[in-house]
Structure 1
C-alpha cells in the first residue's frame, strides 16, 4: 500500500519543496516506518504509523522537539505502539498496556501525561482505536482523558475542531461540543455538553463517522453518505452561494456573463449556508461509499470501486484535481484512475489530503479465483 498527499505543505508535511501541492505526490518513508499503514494529520504535521513488526511513528512537518530531523524520523518513544493521535501540540501513543501523550514542543524524555490500561488479551475483543480508550476517549489537548458512559457502547469516535461525533456498536450516531454551524446535526445551532443522539439518523445503522472544522459526515451500512454542518465553501457538497457568486464574478469579468438572460434562473437557485440536519449526498449513483474524511473546510470520500471524490475549499490544492479550484459538488480525482491505482483509504488533514492506494493488478490478483485441476 502506498500513500499520496496533496494540499498545504508549508512545513514539508508531504516532504516536497513546494508550499502548495496540487498534484498527488507519493510520500517517502524512512526507518521502521517506510511501509506506513496509517496516516494522522494536523495543521502543520503528519504522523506515519507502521504496524509491521517493529511498529512505530515517524513525524513530518513543523520542527518538533521529539524528532532530530524535520521529516521521516522514527520516534524511539513510539516503538511498540498500536495507534497514534496527532494534535497540533501533542502526539498521543497507544500501547497495549498504557496511553502516553507527548508535548511536541519539549525535549523531555518522559511523556507529559500517561494512563495505564488493562492489557488486552486475544479474547478481549477489538483492539484500541484512538481516540477511544477503555472507559472514555483521549482529547488532543489537556485534560487528555475524558470519560464516556458505558451505556453508549462506543465503537468509533471522530474529533472535529470543537465537536465530537460518536458511532455506537448498534450503528447509532451521537454528537456533542460546539454547535454554532449546525455541525452536531440536531437541527439547531446550540452546543451540547453531553453526547446527544442525532435523531434524524435514528433507525438507520451507520458504519463510520467523520468530523471536520465545522461539519460532519457518516456512512450508512448500505454505503450512503450523510453530511451536515457549515457549507460556506461547499464542504458539504451542496450549493454554496458565496462560491457561486465568486464564480459568476470571474465569468462577468471575462465578459461572458449575460445578466439579463440568467437573472430568472439564478433567482430560483437554492443555496445552503448551514445544514443543521443530516442530508443525503449523492456522490455517484453507480457505487457505494466506503470511506469518508473531513478537513477544516473540505471533504473526501472513497467508493467501493476504489475511486476518490473530493469537494469544498481547494485553495491549497487539497482536492487533488491539479488546480486550486474550490468546488461545491463532488468531483472525481482522475489522477489515481489514470495511473491505474485503486484508492483504499483517505485521511484529510486541516488543509491537505492523504490517500492510500494499491495498483489495479494487485486488486485483480487478490480477487482472482484459482482454477480447479
Structure 2
C-alpha cells in the first residue's frame, strides 16, 4: 500500500491529527499546512473535535473522545469501509456490503448497525413476460452524509433517508452522484447535473427564494438547466461548480465564506444572507498558462483556468482549479484556510500557497474540509 504525504491546517487542540498536538488554538495558524503521512487509500472525515481515518476494514478515530483530549479508538469493521462521515457526537460508516454503522465518539464505543424504520407500503410484485414473479431487489445503501443536526443516506433503490426514516424516492433514471450535509441541511447532486436540497433553510443554505424548512428534497430551480458537476455544503452555506467551471455560492456570509465582501468600500455592511446562488468571479491565475513535465520539457498548454471542485467547512470554502491551484475564503481563526497570515477571515478567494509547492499539480490532491480544518491528501 503506497504511503504518501498529506497535510492539514486548522484546529488541532485535541490532537485529532495524531502526529502533532497544539497546546493553544493558534499554534498552527501562522504556519499554514503541516505534513503528516498516511496511506493513499485512507478515507478521512473530520469533526471539530476528532478525526476519523479508515482503510480497508479498519477505522481509527482520534481527538476528543469521552471528554478527554488525545484519546483514540481502533475498530475492525465486518467488511471493507466504503465511506465515513463525522458528526459532532458520532461517526457514520458505510460498508461495501451496503450496511451503515454508527460509532459514538467515545473510547469504549463499539460499532452499532443503524436500523431503519420499516415502510408501511409493500412494494408491488413485478412479473416477467411469462408471469413469473421477479425477485425483489434487496435495499442497501450507497451514500451517507451527516451534520450537527441532520443525518442522511441514499439507497440502491433511489430511496432518500433522513436516518432512520425514508422521506423520498427518486425515479429509476435519476442516479445520485454526490451527497453532502451542512449543520442543518442536505444536498445531493444527480447524474443529470441537478441539485436537490432539504432541511433547514432559514439562512439561505437551500438556495430557495423563500427562507423556510423543506422536509423532502426540492429541486434548486435557480440552477436548473445548468449542468453541475460538484457540490459542497458548509455549516450554513452551500456551493456548486458547473460544467463550464463557474463557481456558485449561496447562504450565510458572516465571514466571507461565499467569496463575497462582508463590507462595502465605504464601510457599509453587505447582506448577511444570500438565498439565491451567486456566481463568483475567481481571481486570475497567472502562473498556470504553461505546465512542465517531469523531465523539464514544456508540457500541456492551458488556455483557461477553471474551477473543478469545491469543498466547505463550517464557515470556509475551498475551491480547486483544473491546474491544481487552490483558493480559499471565509473564517480563518484556526488557520483553516491554509494562508500564511493570521487573520480572522478572508472575504474573497485568495490563493493558498501550499499547493504551489506540489511538484506535479496535474495530480491534484484530494481535499477534505472539517468544520474548522482542511486536509489535503496528495
Q: Same fold (TM over 0.5)?
A: yes
Query: In the superposition, relative to structure 1, how do residues 138 and 237 fare at CA in structure 2: closer, same or farther (>3 Å)?
Result: same
State the partner residue of 1:17: 21
- 2:120 equivalent in structure 1: none
- Quote how far apart the aligned CAs of 1:79 are: 5.5
- Quote how far apart the aligned CAs of 1:37 are: 3.4
Matched, 1:346 2:370: no
- Structure number with higher strand proportion: 2
Name the CA distance, whole Å, in 1 between partners of 2:40 and 2:230. Answer: 25
Q: 1:130 is paired with a residue of what secondary structure?
A: strand
Contact kept in structure 2, 1:12 and 1:60, CA below 8 Å: yes
- Residue 275 (structure 2) aligns with: 276
Q: Give the 3 Å change call, closer, same or farther, for CA 174–332 of structure 1 in structure 2.
A: same
Q: 1:319 aligns with which of 317, 337, 341?
A: 337
- Aligned partners of 2:96, 2:43: CA distance in 1, in Å? 18
Q: Which runs of 5 or more structure 1 residues have no equivalent in the other structure?
A: 117-123, 245-264, 358-373
Deviation at 1:45, TM superposition (A): 1.2
Please give the alpha-carbon distance, in whole angstroms, between the structure 2 residues aligned to 1:64 and 1:80.
Answer: 26
Distance 1:144 1:107, change over 3 A: farther
Against the structure 1 CA distance between its residues 85 and 350, is the aligned structure 2 distance closer, same or farther, given a 3 Å change threshold? same
Residues 110, 187 of structure 1: CA spacing in aligned structure 2 closer, same or farther, 3 A cutoff?
closer
Contact between 1:56 and 1:74, CA under 8 Å: does it hold in 2?
A: yes
Matching of residue 149 in structure 1 with residue 158 in structure 2:
no
What are the within-5 Å matches in structure 2 for residues 247-326 of structure 1? Answer: 266=266, 271-286=270-285, 287-325=305-343, 326=345
- 1:168-215: CA deviations, max 9, x gaps? 221111111111111111123222122111111010010111111110
Match of residue 46 from structure 1? 51
Cα displacement (A) at 1:291? 1.6
Give the equivalent residue in structure 2 for 1:6.
9
CA distance in 2, matches of 1:145, 1:40: 24
Matched, 1:189 2:208: no
CA spacing shift, 1:78–1:8, aligned 2, 3 Å: farther
| 2:191 aligned partner | 169
Q: Counterparts of 1:345 and 1:224 in 2: how far apart (Å)?
A: 20
Partners of 1:183 and 1:48 in 2: how far apart? 28
Cα distance in 2 between the residues matched to 1:349 and 1:290:
20
Structure 2 length-normalised TM: 0.75
- CA–CA distance in structure 1, aligned partners of residues 262 and 78 of structure 2: 43
Contact 2:79/2:95, CA 8 A, preserved across alignment: no
**Which portions of structure 1, spanning 4 or more consecutive aligned residues, are displaced by more than 6 angstroms?**
none
1:346 CA drift (Å): 1.6
Q: Output one character per residue of 1:229-284: Cα deviation in whole Å (capped at 9) or x when no partner.
A: 0111100000102xx7xxxxxxxxxxxxxxxxxxxx617x7823211110111223
2:375 is paired with a residue whose SS is strand
Give me the whole-angstrom Cα distance separating, in 2, the residues matched to 1:311 and 1:191.
27
Name the counterpart of 2:351.
332
TM norm structure 1 = 0.75
Give the equivalent residue in structure 2 for 1:105: 106
How many pairs are equivalent?
A: 314
More helix by share: 1
RMSD: 3.0
Partner SS state of residue 53, structure 2: strand
Distance in 2, matches of 1:145 and 1:26, equals 41
